[in-house]
Amino acid sequence: MENYRDKVVVITGSAGGIGFALAQQFGADGAKVVLSDIDGERLHGAVEALREQGVQAGGFVCDVTRREDVEALAQHAIDGFGAVDVLVNNAGRGQAPAPLIDMDLDEFRRVLDVNLYGLLHGVQVFGRYFLQRGEPAAIYNLGSENSIYPCVPSYHAYVASKHAVLAITELLAEETPDFLEVALIMPGLVYSEMTRDVFRGMDTDAFARKVIEQLRAGEFYVVSHAYNRERLDERYRAIGAAYDKYAPRYAGDEEFDIRTLLARMS
């Protein structure tokens, strides 16, 4: 979207950190913002802070792992502002790094419940509303630098969830009509609740400004941390080298390419 003036933007996990910084940037662009978070006290403070900045804002306590909460969030936003134009699936959960062999799989599931299934609840609930409404809208999903390479050693659940967000968002963009914009936001190390006790990351507001600039330009891959290009290139060089050695290109090699075969069937 070229600008967000008078658009209604719903952001999950937005009582602080990246979510709140994005809310400020959308608000500065003239949007009406609905914050949601599992922490009601912090959420109230965040809404009041936005209002003090002159942003039309509301809040709703929401656990994204509960589909009924996400449905209630959508209805609350529609009732309060008349419509919703943008969903930012920002809510996320980290983990303590642990060797996969010994990792508590209940913790693995808890991470996926928020980072993957919570996001899917948002996509389905708001996506159906956007399609039925039939007006320009957007779904922005929070991936990570962990979407393109394993950033933190033994961070299995989180990395798996963010790789999944990459795939889901790419596929979602293919199957939605042009009026429904889809984008993948891939932060690197940003100063937030998830990282502040370990590293000092990129300033949260500076990151949010980078994001809004790219969203307004209609970019799909929304990036921020320059050195991630090294990690991305390293991964694809290694994959390419394996193909060059064991599965080199040949004339007619599209014979087993699924996309080519599907195109021929259509």
pLDDT in tens, 2-42: 999 999 999 999 999 999 999 999 999 999 999 999 999 99
| Average pLDDT taken over every residue of the chain | 96
Q: What is the mean pLDDT of residues 50-69?
A: 98
Q: Is the pLDDT of residue 192 over 80?
A: no
The first and second tokens of residue 232, run together, are 């991305």
Per-residue pLDDT at 197: 63
pTM metric for this prediction: 0.95
- Whether 59 and 34 have beta carbons less than 8 Å apart is answered as yes
Ordered alpha helix ranges (H), 134-203: 156-175
Q: Is the pLDDT of residue 194 over 70?
A: no
Per-residue pLDDT at 196: 60
Instruction: Choose among 55, 54, 51, 120: nearest CA to 87.
Output: 120
Q: Is the pLDDT of residue 193 over 80?
A: no
Per-residue pLDDT at 266: 86
- pLDDT per residue over 109-154, tens digit each? 999 999 999 999 999 999 999 999 999 999 999 999 999 999 999 9
Per-residue pLDDT at 244: 98
Per-residue pLDDT at 102: 94
Per-residue pLDDT at 199: 72
Instruction: Calculate what percentage of the chain has a pLDDT beyond 90.
Output: 95
- Whether 87 and 142 have beta carbons less than 8 Å apart is answered as no
The 8-class DSSP code of residue 113 comes to I
Find the helix packing angle between 67-81 and 119-133, rounded to 10°: 40
The amino acid at residue 205 is D
The first and second tokens of residue 55, run together, are 């942003």
Residue 197 burial by Cβ neighbours in a 10 Å radius (0-12, 13-18, 19+): exposed
Active site residues: 158
The 8-class DSSP code of residue 152 comes to S
- Whether 8 and 35 have beta carbons less than 8 Å apart is answered as no
Instruction: Calculate what percentage of the chain has a pLDDT beyond 70.
Output: 97
Tell me how far CA of residue 53 lies from CA of 9, 24, 89, 170, in angstroms.
16, 8, 23, 35
- pLDDT per residue over 88-102, tens digit each? 999 999 999 999 999
| pLDDT level of residue 157 (50, 70, 90 thresholds) | very high
